[in-house]
Amino acid sequence: MAGVTSGPQPALLDRVQDGVLTLTLNRPDKLNALDNAMIDALHAALAYYAPREDVAVVILTGAGERAFAAGADIAQLRDRKRSDALRGINATLFDRVARFPAPTIAAVRGFALGGGCELALACDLRVAGRSAKFGQPETGLGIMASAGATFRLAQLVGLGRARELLYTGRLVEAEEALRIGLVTQVVEDADVGAAALQMAQMIARNDPLATRLTKLALAQVADATAGPAAQTFANVVQAVLFESPEKIKRMDAFLARKKRP
């Protein structure tokens, strides 16, 4: 696809085979952190492939062994202002993932943190390797998980568990993620791609129209329990936090720690 796989280091790799579209976040040296270029590439890919009838299922994964996506790029996030929060930069993308016409599967190895975890939550299904670690550490950085975790996480694991995970920011390893309903399946790291593909092929064998309409019907339930109102409220709260002195202090400290040898 033009604009996605072009350039010496494309932010996103895309491939369609036998009805399965695989999108690979491609910043392994940065743990596939979601920077502006990657967000733009994902928007472009999703817009391009959404109308295509030869795409029955989407697998979303990360390049390298260490991370699905280790969150937003903190250097860029630090400089975002109130107006950026109200635009819902990540939230708009993840909503596009959630509303993609065909089913989506997140294939997760390593870290899925912050925005990376919210991206996985926006997918319909999640296959995790044993190295997978999920978490929403935003409150430790002076902000909140505002791109869907406040309602999608609760829908998956229940409100009580979602409160605990969002308040503490602790990491959830693969086996616990399976136990609490955060992921669908746990396999060895080397088998994550094959397990996600096997699931995708099972879905792709069914009638595409029936599957897409089933997804649309299920979306009505999700919107009824949270939906746009919850996202709008999260954007407004994040707008306040994005310009707080504590956010700047905490993100500066995080970036300083990263620079240490």
Q: CB 261: neighbour CB atoms within 10 A?
A: 2
Are 99 and 50 spatial neighbours (Cβ–Cβ below 8 Å)? no
Mark whether 188 is an active-site residue. no
Q: How far is CA 107 from CA 98, 119, 180, 188, 249, in A?
A: 15, 11, 18, 12, 34
Mark whether 246 is an active-site residue. no
Q: CB 203: neighbour CB atoms within 10 A?
A: 18
Active-site residue identified among 138, 173, 176, 246: 138
- Using N-to-C axis directions, what is the helix angle for 227-242 and 208-225, rounded to 10°? 60
Active-site residue identified among 53, 65, 118, 243: 118
Contacts of residue 116, defined as CB under 8 A and 6 or more positions apart, other chains included, come to: 32, 33, 34, 62, 67, 68, 69, 70, 71
The residues annotated as belonging to the active site are: 118, 138
